[in-house]
Structure 1
Amino acid sequence: MKSNKKCLVIDKRGHVGGNIYTEQVEGINVHKYGAHIFHTNDKEVWDYVNRFATFNRYTNSPIANYKGEIYNLPFNMNTFYRLWGVSDPTEAERIIESQRLKCAEPQSLEEQALSLVGHDIYEKLIKGYTEKQWGRDCKDIPAFIIKRLPVRFTWDNNYFNDQYQGIPVGGYTPIVEKLLEGCEVRLNTDYFAQRDYFDGIAQKIVYTGMLDEFYDFQFGPLEYRTLRFDTEILDKPNFQGNAVVNYTEKEIPFTRIIEHKHFEFGTQPKTVITREYSKEYEDGDEPYYPINDQKNNERYLSYKELADREENVIFGGRLAEYKYYDMWQIVRNSLDIVRKELKEA
């Protein structure tokens, strides 16, 4: 708008905001498509998002439930005390080192995790959760999926190390609505159903959907994991005392329970919880996470070759770039792209 450019935004869903959409239920801002916690070390990104909302002081401190045993995340001295009864960081370090798999080149996620944190942490806090998340045995998941596992020999339960962290007061939807002020927005609109029309009216297209779909799956479909959400209103003020509780045993089918009110320190008389189930993407689902194994990455590069030749299309986001992004990275990439586009215009 500030550059006197007209913008039409279309969304196949019935609301703006994509996966960060929040809606009020019983006075609680519910993260409709899974929890989103904003965190970054990029001051410019932080200052930018704060133009559209006030962020609270929420600090992500999830806990893990393994067969009724409660552990702090990320792995820190609170975790190690619960596991082994140790309060000396040197002793915790010694135990982990004694359990680590000595392996020059891990061939699977299981070997990679064991080489990083040892047997006890892997068996109780990684194995079951990861197998539910990916729908595969850890022995069959590539090692590179886990490049590192944060291990802290302090008593700090802050999951992220980032300087800036919080949840927008009032949820994410108002941020998106402010970003779209002055833009034409069409909801319940499928780009592919009217592709020729939209291509014809646009000087440039910003595409954030599935890259393989954009090219009619000509090299075959890219694979994704998706999520199913089971949301419930409970007639009590507090269900689990924390926003995020991971369930790390494989026998429990969901990966975690989100209690939304705790993101904004709510005191409402009722509470809303969401159980998250991970599953393989099927046609008609919403794709969430790219499966960046060798087969899919090679297929993606074939699509990227076509995308790089496009002069009037900008591809951005998890689906169009087939890459996992945190929210701050999306904002950073968007700011960089806009600067480049306006400079060239």
Structure 2
Amino acid sequence: MSGKYDYLIVGAGLFGATFAFEAKKQGKKCLVIDRRGHIGGNVYCEEVEGINVHKYGAHIFHTNNKEIWDYVNQFVEFNRYTNSPVANYNGEIYNLPFNMNTFNKLWGVVTPQEAKEKIEAQKAEAGIEKPQNLEEQAISLVGTDIYEKLIKGYTEKQWGRKATELPAFIIKRLPVRFTYDNNYFNDKYQGIPIGGYNVIVEKMLEGIDIRLNTDFFAKKDELEALADKTVFTGMIDEYYEYKFGKLEYRSLKFEQEQMDTSNYQGNAVVNYTDRETPYTRIIEHKHFEFGTQDKTVITKEYPSEWSPGDEPYYPINDDKNTQLYKQYKELADKEDKVIFGGRLGTYKYYDMHQVIAAALTAAEKELT
């Protein structure tokens, strides 16, 4: 070993922590660095008034993969939280995902057949045969009423673009249920780690060297010289100094407020689907863990266009960015001392269980 460590792991989020945990099991020595002052990446929780506040937006663990479920349960026990968000459209409350409760509130229908007939009539009236954009795709799936009240405003805020300018594929898997089921996810396993996500990452990184408040790019050569290989979970285009141009991302701004009430909105997640409300949702964190504290903490979530210095959250996987990423991936595939991972390193939207699965696959490939 030429360096002090086998692996320098850039980013203490789920991908980096999972890789580090697996590498340590194989007797490898890792140094994990992060430019933030804490481990955990975007799943980091901050305790406020005894409430685990999801500092970077709501994180709800869900998966159909029993292997991944068993894997995370070795670190922490999960509660029985079920994601059942509601939508607020100008003070009208609707259940999500779109289900019989939604249709009853919207149209007064009672049976699945009545709901289907209502949607089919609106789809026929719209007359869209080959959807060319998100708006046309959504209307062709659920009709005009649902689109106008529950999709259009929220989506345009989320992406910062008109629905007619967004690609149709973004919404092709829109969940529509003709049952009275408010469970947002279809996955078999779902919950929130008791004590917050920090418990998982802390246990993963137990006994591993960590440096926080460390900017990889400020000391790139020096840090990479410490290890034989680098696991990089930051932005792949930044790693290559944007030589082909900048990939695009959506960012988020958070406005957190502590309130002297035990229950502000009665639900962990409320989406604001009108265009005029500047935020997309309000999160009331205590409900993730069925909290009974006297006070509560809410967070308003404001989507924004990413620019350097902002935190990148969601890759914009349209044709232009996909082609640009391919150029960076060609460089990455030629690397023999750098492994790219996570949302930013692979320019792909991952849920938490997918990040962990990808890290386990990378670790298995690398370590066996």
TM-score interval, smaller chain: over 0.9
> For 1:93 and 1:30, how far apart are their aligned partners in 2?
40
> For 1:22 and 1:148, how far apart are their aligned partners in 2?
30
Q: CA deviation at 1:338?
A: 1.3
Choose from 135, 152, 158 the match for 1:133.
158
User: TM-score scaled by structure 2?
Assistant: 0.92
Secondary structure of residue in 2 paired with 1:203: strand
Runs of 4+ residues over 2 Å off in structure 1: 101-105
Does residue 295 of the first structure (1) align with residue 317 of the second (2)?
A: no
**Equivalent residue, structure 2, for 1:40:** 63
> For 1:125 and 1:309, how far apart are their aligned partners in 2?
45
Are the counterparts in 2 of residues 247 and 255 from structure 1 also a CA contact under 8 Å? yes
Q: CA deviation at 1:197?
A: 1.1
Give the 5 Å matches for 1:1-345: 1-100=24-123, 101-343=126-368
> For 1:213 and 1:148, how far apart are their aligned partners in 2?
31
| Residue ranges of structure 2 left out of the alignment (5+ in a row) | 1-23
Identity %: 69
Are the counterparts in 2 of residues 124 and 248 from structure 1 also a CA contact under 8 Å? yes
CA deviation map 1:201-258 (0-9, x unaligned): 2111110000100000001000000000000000010000000000000000000000
Aligned length: 343
> For 1:337 and 1:295, how far apart are their aligned partners in 2?
27
Question: What amino acid maps onto 2:26 in structure 1?
Answer: S
| Residue ranges of structure 1 left out of the alignment (5+ in a row) | none
Are the counterparts in 2 of residues 14 and 188 from structure 1 also a CA contact under 8 Å? yes
Q: CA deviation at 1:183?
A: 0.6
Question: What amino acid maps onto 1:178 in structure 2?
Answer: K
Question: What amino acid maps onto 1:246 in structure 2?
Answer: N
Secondary structure of residue in 2 paired with 1:154: coil
Are the counterparts in 2 of residues 54 and 168 from structure 1 also a CA contact under 8 Å? yes
> For 1:104 and 1:341, how far apart are their aligned partners in 2?
48
Are the counterparts in 2 of residues 116 and 148 from structure 1 also a CA contact under 8 Å? no
Are the counterparts in 2 of residues 110 and 143 from structure 1 also a CA contact under 8 Å? yes
Secondary structure of residue in 1 paired with 2:138: helix
Are the counterparts in 2 of residues 8 and 184 from structure 1 also a CA contact under 8 Å? yes
Q: CA deviation at 1:342?
A: 1.6
Question: What amino acid maps onto 1:21 in structure 2?
Answer: Y
CA deviation map 1:242-291 (0-9, x unaligned): 00000000000000000000000000000000000000001100000011
> For 1:271 and 1:153, how far apart are their aligned partners in 2?
34
Q: CA deviation at 1:104?
A: 3.4
CA deviation map 1:92-136 (0-9, x unaligned): 011111111443321111011111111000000000000000111
RMSD value, Cα: 0.8
After the TM superposition, which of the residue ranges 101-110 and 299-308 deviates more from structure 2? Answer: 101-110
Q: CA deviation at 1:340?
A: 1.5
> For 1:217 and 1:272, how far apart are their aligned partners in 2?
39
Secondary structure of residue in 1 paired with 2:225: helix
Secondary structure of residue in 2 paired with 1:107: coil
> For 1:47 and 1:112, how far apart are their aligned partners in 2?
37
